[in-house]
């Protein structure tokens, strides 16, 4: 993968140019496509038949006429109802889920029951056909760089204008040595807020191979042991230097998991570089509305909201309690009301907003999205 000699001087006209605008890069994409086995020029758009391809669409209709399955029938009704809801949404609002490889969403997002592996590899194509799903989180990039051939395959499945929110590498955002790091060393992470590593391993490849579908990069700062915590003022200073070194062609959103870091200095560091705060609904953090009192929604030119876990709950316990993820099992009207209010504030000020929902928020991310969209569409 190309290494970048500089950080702040990179522009979309060179290393970060879209494959469609960079003829030289186009050859790279086509070459990679042979490895991926799925990319082809004129990649399919929802509702438009594929051109000839060496790989069959995993979710394509069978070649011979058959009666639709109950799941396909249910999905058809779901899409029709969701389309009516989506038509009433204010402009600039994108809903999506934290990831997409959930077999339990058969009949809600997918037309048949597929394996996690099948959905992870090919599920974006059908996911993007859902009228209310206009963005998605890419969670795997938190743990390791995404291979180039996978970025090419993702791009081939998505329609124009569909944006993904990818998590930044944990090796860049964790103050402690990540558990998955190859080194057995424990303690302070030497690559914490290393801009060159972030650009080389993530921003650069996304700019080369996935530019059209790259939404805000999510910089999630996980909690660390007390002995390794950075003082709030020091964190804000380091974040300021890190953001200053990043290419300005992309958007960056910062998600905190330690409420002590949510300070005025932190807000100023974000504002200095056009970065956004992520209003999250998660263990140990204040509710989204409380976060907005420190970092107002109009502090940046865009907004990101992530609904993950009811505060005070744990991920593993929540997952076990809520499976299967095909129904709302823990509705939270307070959370819904706060999110709707934040979204309306963004809309009223002309700021685009992305809302990403995890199954563990209420039990079924697509159904939580449907409920939020109905609230916004009705003015509630």
Identify which has the larger pLDDT, 293 or 15: 293
State the residue range of the domain holding 113: 73-167+191-221+229-378
Q: Identify the sign of the CA torsion 151, 152, 158, 161.
A: positive
What rounded mean pLDDT belongs to the chain? 86
Q: What is the mean pLDDT of residues 83-94?
A: 97
Q: What is the mean pLDDT of residues 224-232?
A: 91
pLDDT at 380 over 50: yes
Give the pLDDT confidence score for residue 32 in this predicted structure. Answer: 40
Residue 52 lies in a domain: no
Nearest to 343, CA basis, from 151, 48, 93: 93
Residue 330 lies in a domain: yes
Q: Which range among 53-57, 88-92, 181-185, 307-311 shows the weakest confidence by mean pLDDT?
A: 53-57
pLDDT at 58 over 60: no
Residue with tokens 């876990």: 309
Which tokens hold the place of 351? 């700021």
Q: What is the mean pLDDT of residues 205-219?
A: 98
Residue 160 lies in a domain: yes
Q: What is the mean pLDDT of residues 176-203?
A: 86
Domain count along the chain: 1
pLDDT at 340 over 90: yes
Q: What is the mean pLDDT of residues 203-216?
A: 98
Question: Which domain CATH number covers 122?
Answer: 3.20.20.410
pLDDT tens digits along 280-323: 999 999 999 999 999 999 999 999 999 999 888 887 888 888 88
Give the pLDDT confidence score for residue 295 in this predicted structure. Answer: 98
pLDDT at 120 over 80: yes
Residue 64 lies in a domain: no
Distance CA 53, CA 198 (A): 34
Give the pLDDT confidence score for residue 63 in this predicted structure. Answer: 58
Give the pLDDT confidence score for residue 322 in this predicted structure. Answer: 86
Q: What angle do CA 160, 166, 167 make, to 5 degrees?
A: 175
Query: How crowded is residue 264: how many other Cβ atoms within 10 Å of its Cβ?
Result: 11
Q: What is the mean pLDDT of residues 239-250?
A: 98
Give the pLDDT confidence score for residue 241 in this predicted structure. Answer: 99
Residue 204 lies in a domain: yes
Q: Tally DSSP H helices, then E strands, for the chain.
A: 15, 8
Query: How crowded is residue 229: how many other Cβ atoms within 10 Å of its Cβ?
Result: 16
- SS3 sequence of 154-200: HHHHCCCCCEEEEECCHHHHCCECCCCCCCCCCCECCCCCCHHHHHH
Give the pLDDT confidence score for residue 379 in this predicted structure. Answer: 75
Q: What is the mean pLDDT of residues 54-72?
A: 61
pLDDT at 27 over 60: no
Nearest to 209, CA basis, from 135, 244, 133, 158: 158
Residue 235 lies in a domain: yes
pLDDT at 182 over 90: no
This model's pTM is above 0.95: no
Q: What is the mean pLDDT of residues 332-355?
A: 98
Residue 26 lies in a domain: no
CA distances for 348 relative to 89, 170, 298, 368, angstroms: 13, 34, 10, 23
Identify which has the larger pLDDT, 118 or 70: 118
pLDDT at 343 over 80: yes
Q: Sorting pLDDT into bands at 50, 70 and 90, what band is 65?
A: low
CA distances for 345 relative to 279, 289, 351, angstroms: 13, 11, 8
pLDDT at 236 over 70: yes
pLDDT at 132 over 90: yes
Which tokens hold the place of 227? 């002995």
Count how many residues are written for the chain. Answer: 380
Q: What is the mean pLDDT of residues 349-371?
A: 98
Residue 77 lies in a domain: yes
Give the pLDDT confidence score for residue 187 in this predicted structure. Answer: 87
Distance CA 136, CA 127 (A): 9
Q: Sorting pLDDT into bands at 50, 70 and 90, what band is 50?
A: very low
Nearest to 369, CA basis, from 380, 379, 358: 358
């Amino acid at each position: 993968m190309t290494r970048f000699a500089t950080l702040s001087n990179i522009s979309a006209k060179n290393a970060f140019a879209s494959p469609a605008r960079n003829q030289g890069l186009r050859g790279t994409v086509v070459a990679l496509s042979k490895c991926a086995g799925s990319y082809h020029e004129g990649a399919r758009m929802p509702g438009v038949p594929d051109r000839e391809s060496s790989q069959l669409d995993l979710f394509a209709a069978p070649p011979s006429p058959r009666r639709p399955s109950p799941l396909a029938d249910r999905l058809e009704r779901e899409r029709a109802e969701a389309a009516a809801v989506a038509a009433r949404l204010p402009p600039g609002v994108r809903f999506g889920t934290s990831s997409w490889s959930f077999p339990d969403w058969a009949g809600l997002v997918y037309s048949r029951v597929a394996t996690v592996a099948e959905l992870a590899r090919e599920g974006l194509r059908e996911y993007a056909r859902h009228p209310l799903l206009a963005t998605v989180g890419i969670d795997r990039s938190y743990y390791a760089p995404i291979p180039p051939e996978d970025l090419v395959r993702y791009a081939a499945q998505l329609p124009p204008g569909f944006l993904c929110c990818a998590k930044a590498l944990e090796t860049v955002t964790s103050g402690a040595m990540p558990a998955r790091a190859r080194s057995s060393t424990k303690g302070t992470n030497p690559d914490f807020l290393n801009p060159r590593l972030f650009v080389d391993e993530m921003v650069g490849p996304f700019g080369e191979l996935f530019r059209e579908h790259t939404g805000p990069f999510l910089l999630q700062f996980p909690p660390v042991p007390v002995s390794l915590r950075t003082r709030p003022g020091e964190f804000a200073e380091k974040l300021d230097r890190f953001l200053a070194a990043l290419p300005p062609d992309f958007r960056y959103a910062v998600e905190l998991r330690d409420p002590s870091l949510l300070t005025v200095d932190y807000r100023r560091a974000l504002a200095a570089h056009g970065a956004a705060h992520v209003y999250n609904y998660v263990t140990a953090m204040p509710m989204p509305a409380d976060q907005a009192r420190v970092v107002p929604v109009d502090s940046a030119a865009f907004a990101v909201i992530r609904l993950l876990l009811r505060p005070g709950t744990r991920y593993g316990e929540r997952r076990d309690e809520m499976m299967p993820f095909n129904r709302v099992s823990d509705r939270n009207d307070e959370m819904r009301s706060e999110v709707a209010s934040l979204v309306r504030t963004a809309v009223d000020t002309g700021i685009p907003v992305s809302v990403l929902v995890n199954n563990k928020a209420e039990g079924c991310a697509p159904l939580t999205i449907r409920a939020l969209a109905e609230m916004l569409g009705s003015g509630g």
